[in-house]
C-alpha cells in the first residue's frame, strides 16, 4: 500500500502499526499539507461498529491532549479513519525502558492526563480504559489520550454495556471489574493506577488479582516508600484516587488538577527539555531494538514480510503486474498452440500486451481476451463462442474486482501441477461464502473448458469427469452443437457431483474462515480438505462406482493442504485482543 493515493488526497508513506482488525498507516494529506494517521478497518459487524463508534466519540472532543479525528471515509468494505499523527511512543513503552520517572516529569504527565479526561467528562464520556498503552507522548512531552473503544456516554449506558466486562484488569476500578454501573470516578481510579506506575515503575496491586486485593482492604504502600523523592502531598493525591469505594475518591477530575497545580515545575522550558531528552532516548532504544530484531529474523519471516509488502502494501502494483502476466501468458499459450501468427509477430504482440496491461489494466486485459478468441474461433466456432462467453464474464468481474478476476485464471494453471483441489480451499479462504461459491463453480467450469480445449495434449489431470468429455469431443472431425454439448455435459453424474463437492467446500470454508486468528482458520482448512478427501476417496468410488487413482488423489490433497497451511501462515493476523 506504500505509495498509494487514497481518495485522491492521502499519500501512504509507511505502515505505522497493526493489530486486531485494523492497520494504521502514516500518510501525507496533499490538500492540507500535513502528516496524518489513517486507521484502515477491515472488519464486519460488532468489531467495525465499535471502531466507528470510537472515532465518532473522539470527534466530539476537541482538546490538545486528546487525539484528533479529522474524517471517516469508506471505500468498499473498508473504513478509513483519518486522524492526527503523533510522533512519539506510548507511556507503556516509556516506562518499560526508563522505569520510574522524575517527580516533575510524572506530575506534568498526570496533570495533562487529568486535563484530557476532564474534557471527556464534560462531554459526558467515560473512557473506561485509561492505561499507559492508551496514552501517547510526543517528543515535546505532550500527551495524547487514545482508544475510546469501550467508552460509554453517561446516561446512555444500557444493561448490555455492563454485562460484558471490558478493559485492562490491572487499571480497572473495582466497580467496573464487578460489572456494576460506573461513573466518572471509575476513570479517577485508573488515573491513580497510572500515576502510581509512573512514579514507582510498578502498579499498586498484584497484576493477577488487583481488584480482589482492593476489595479485601489491602492498601498499596505510598509511592514515597518505593521512590523517596515523591512528596507526601503527591502520596495523598494518588492514594485518594485509589480508594476502593467511589464515594471516597475525588468527586471530579478538576479537584486532582487543583491539588497537582502546586507541584508542577515552574520552569516549563527546562521540564520540556527534560521530557524531550527522555522520550528521544526511549525512541532511539526502540529503533535499535527493531534493527537488532530484523537482523535476527528468520528467512521464513523475511519471506512473509516480503510477500506482505508485495501483495498488501503494494496491492495496486501487484495487480498491475499480474494483469500484465495474464495478458502475456494467455495469448502466447493460445497463439502457440494453434500456430497463429509467425513467431516474431507472436512474441512482439504479447510483449506489447504486457506493457499495455501494466499501464492500462482494463484495456490490456480486454485486448488479450479478444486476441485469444481469434485462433480459438478459427479452430472451432463452438469453442470460440464458449470461450467468448467465459471471457465476457471474466472481463466484467475484472472491471468490478481485479483480485477476484485474476483468481479465476488459477484452475488451468493448477491442473497441470496436480493441484486442482487447492482451488476450492483457496476460494473459500479468500472470499465470503457467496463469492467463494460463485468463484468455485466458475473455476471448475474454466478447468473443464481448459481440458476440452487442450484435449490433444497428453496431460495427466485429476479432474474426474474430464476424460469422458475429452473422448466425446476428440472424435476426429466431430464438433458438437451447443444443444448436444450441454445435453451431454449435464448428464455426467461425476461432473455434477464434483460441482456439488466444490460448492460445499467453498461455502463451508468461506463461512467459517474469517481470517481472525491462525489457530481458528487452520481447523477450517483441515475440515474443507477432509470433505474433499471423503468425497473423492469414498463417495465417488463406493457410491458412484468410479475408478479413482487413489494415490494421485491423496498426493494432490496432501500437497494442496500443505500449501494452504503455508498460505494462511503468511497472512498478517492481528492476534489476541490485548485490551
Quick: pLDDT tens for 319-338.
677 778 878 877 887 777 77
Using the 3D structure, point to which of 61, 85, 109 is the last residue of a domain: 85
CA 327/CA 319 separation, integer angstroms: 12
Q: Is residue 74 part of a domain?
A: yes
Task: Calculate what percentage of the chain has a pLDDT beyond 90.
Answer: 17
**pLDDT higher than threshold 50 for residue 561:** yes
Position of cell 490538545?
Answer: 64
pLDDT at 157: 53
Rg (CA), the chain: 31
Within 339-421, residue ranges assigned H as helices are 343-359, 361-379, 381-400, 402-407, 410-414
Q: Does residue 262 lie within any of the structural domains?
A: yes
For the chain, the residue count is: 579
**Residues designated as active site:** 129
On whether residue 470 sits in a domain, the answer given is yes
C-alpha 226, offset from chain centre: 43
Residue 234, pLDDT above cutoff 80: yes
* 3-class DSSP assignment, residue 74: strand
Average pLDDT over every residue of 253-274: 85
Q: What rounded mean pLDDT belongs to the chain?
A: 77
Domain CATH code at residue 11: 3.30.200.20
Q: What are φ and ψ of residue 17, in 5° steps?
A: 170, 165
Indicate the helix (H) or strand (E) that contains 25.
strand 22-29
Q: Are 244 and 215 in contact (CB under 8 A)?
A: yes
Tell whether 347 and 430 lie within a shared domain: no
How many structural domains is the chain composed of? 4
Residue 132 lies in a domain: yes
In a domain, 341, yes or no: yes
Domain that holds residue 58: 5-85
Predicted confidence at residue 315, as pLDDT, reads: 57
Are 264 and 330 found together in one domain? no
Secondary structure string (H, E, C) spanning 113-141: HHHHHHHHHHCCEECCCCCHHHEEEECCC
25 and 166 part of one domain = no
- Is residue 349 domain-shared with residue 497, that is, in the same domain? no
pLDDT tens sequence across 89-135: 999 989 888 888 999 999 999 999 999 999 999 988 898 889 998 89
What average pLDDT does this structure show over 410-432?
Answer: 78
Q: How far is residue 181's CA from residue 160's CA, in Å, rounded to a whole number?
A: 11
Does 201 lie in the same domain as 331?
no
- What is the per-residue pLDDT for 459? 37
Report if residue 158 sits inside a domain: yes
Of 233, 249, 280, the closest CA to residue 107 belongs to 233
pLDDT of 253 reads 94
- Residue 526, pLDDT > 80, answer yes
Both 485 and 530 in one domain: the answer is: yes
Residue 139 lies in a domain: yes
Closest-CA residue to 391 (of 445, 470, 337): 445
Inform me whether the pLDDT recorded for 19 exceeds 70: no
Least confident of 64-73, 247-256, 307-316, 358-367: 307-316
User: Both 35 and 182 in a single domain?
Assistant: no
Specify the CATH number for the domain of residue 135: 1.10.510.10
| Average pLDDT, integer, range 15-42 | 83
* In a shared domain, residues 154 and 247: yes
110 and 229 both lie in a single domain: yes
Q: Domain ends where: 85, 103, 130?
A: 85
Residues 492 and 508 in one domain: yes
Domain boundary (398, 416, 433) is at 398
Q: How far apart are CA 314 and CA 151, in angstroms?
A: 35
Question: Residue 124 falls within a domain, yes or no?
Answer: yes
Task: Report residue 225's pLDDT band, with 50, 70 and 90 as the boundaries.
Answer: very high
- Residues 431, 574, single domain; the answer is yes
Residues 76 and 92 in one domain: no
pLDDT at 226 > cutoff 70:
yes
pTM to 2 decimal places: 0.53
Pairing of strands 22-29, 10-19: antiparallel
Amino acid at each position: 500500500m506504500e505509495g498509494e493515493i487514497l481518495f485522491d488526497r492521502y499519500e501512504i508513506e509507511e505502515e505505522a502499526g497493526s493489530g486486531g482488525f485494523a492497520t494504521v498507516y502514516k500518510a501525507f494529506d496533499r490538500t492540507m499539507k500535513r502528516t496524518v494517521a489513517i486507521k484502515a478497518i477491515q472488519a464486519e459487524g460488532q468489531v467495525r461498529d465499535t471502531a466507528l463508534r470510537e472515532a465518532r466519540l473522539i470527534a466530539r472532543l476537541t482538546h490538545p491532549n486528546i487525539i484528533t479525528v479529522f474524517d471517516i471515509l469508506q471505500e468498499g468494505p473498508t473504513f478509513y479513519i483519518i486522524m492526527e499523527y503523533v510522533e512519539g511512543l506510548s507511556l507503556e513503552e516509556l516506562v518499560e525502558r526508563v522505569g520510574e520517572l522524575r517527580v516533575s516529569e510524572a506530575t506534568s504527565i498526570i496533570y495533562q492526563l487529568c486535563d484530557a479526561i476532564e474534557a471527556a467528562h464534560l462531554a459526558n464520556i467515560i473512557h473506561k480504559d485509561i492505561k499507559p498503552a492508551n496514552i501517547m507522548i510526543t517528543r515535546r512531552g505532550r500527551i495524547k489520550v487514545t482508544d475510546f473503544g469501550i467508552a460509554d456516554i453517561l446516561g446512555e449506558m444500557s444493561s448490555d454495556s455492563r454485562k460484558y466486562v471490558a478493559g485492562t484488569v490491572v487499571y480497572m476500578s473495582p466497580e467496573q471489574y464487578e460489572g456494576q454501573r460506573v461513573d466518572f470516578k471509575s476513570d479517577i481510579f485508573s488515573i491513580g493506577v497510572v500515576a502510581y506506575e509512573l512514579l514507582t515503575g510498578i502498579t499498586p496491586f498484584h497484576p493477577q488479582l488487583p481488584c480482589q486485593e482492593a476489595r479485601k482492604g489491602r492498601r498499596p504502600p505510598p509511592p514515597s516508600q518505593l521512590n523517596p523523592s515523591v512528596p507526601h502531598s503527591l502520596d495523598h493525591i494518588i492514594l485518594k484516587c485509589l480508594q476502593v469505594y467511589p464515594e471516597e475518591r475525588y468527586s471530579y477530575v478538576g479537584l486532582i488538577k487543583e491539588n497537582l497545580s502546586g507541584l508542577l515545575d515552574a520552569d516549563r522550558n527546562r521540564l520540556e527539555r527534560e521530557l524531550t531528552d527522555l522520550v528521544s532516548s526511549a525512541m532511539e532504544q526502540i529503533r535499535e531494538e527493531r534493527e537488532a530484531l530484523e537482523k535476527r529474523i528468520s528467512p521464513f519471516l523475511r519471506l512473509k514480510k516480503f510477500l506482505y509488502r508485495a501483495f498488501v502494501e503494494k496491492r495496486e502494483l501487484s495487480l498491475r503486474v499480474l494483469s500484465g502476466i495474464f495478458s502475456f501468458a494467455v495469448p502466447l499459450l493460445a497463439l502457440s498452440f494453434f500456430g497463429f501468427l509467425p513467431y516474431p509477430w507472436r512474441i512482439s504482440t504479447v510483449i506489447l500486451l504486457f506493457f499495455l496491461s501494466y499501464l492500462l489494466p482494463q484495456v490490456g486485459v480486454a485486448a488479450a481476451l479478444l486476441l485469444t478468441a481469434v485462433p480459438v474461433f478459427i479452430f472451432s466456432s463452438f469453442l470460440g463462442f464458449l470461450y467468448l462467453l467465459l471471457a465476457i464474464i471474466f472481463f466484467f468481474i475484472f472491471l468490478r474486482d481485479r483480485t477476484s478476476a485474476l483468481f479465476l485464471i488459477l484452475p488451468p494453471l493448477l491442473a497441470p501441477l496436480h493441484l486442482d483441489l487447492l482451488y476450492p480451499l483457496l476460494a473459500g479462504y479468500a472470499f465470503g461464502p457467496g463469492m467463494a461459491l460463485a468463484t468455485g463453480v466458475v473455476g471448475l467450469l474454466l478447468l473443464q473448458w481448459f481440458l476440452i480445449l487442450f484435449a490433444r495434449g497428453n496431460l495427466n489431470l485429476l479432474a474426474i469427469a474430464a476424460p469422458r468429455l475429452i473422448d466425446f469431443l476428440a472424435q476426429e472431425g466431430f464438433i458438437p452443437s451447443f444443444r448436444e454439448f450441454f445435453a451431454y455435459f449435464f448428464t455426467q453424474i461425476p461432473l455434477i457431483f464434483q460441482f456439488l463437492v466444490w460448492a460445499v467446500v467453498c461455502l463451508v470454508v468461506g463461512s467459517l474462515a474469517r481470517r481472525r486468528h491462525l489457530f481458528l482458520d487452520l481447523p477450517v482448512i483441515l475440515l474443507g480438505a477432509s470433505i474433499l478427501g471423503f468425497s473423492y476417496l469414498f463417495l465417488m468410488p463406493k457410491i458412484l462406482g468410479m475408478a479413482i487413482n487413489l494415490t494421485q488423489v491423496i498426493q494432490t490433497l496432501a500437497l494442496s493442504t500443505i500449501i494452504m497451511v503455508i498460505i494462511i501462515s503468511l497472512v498478517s493476523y492481528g492476534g489476541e485482543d490485548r485490551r
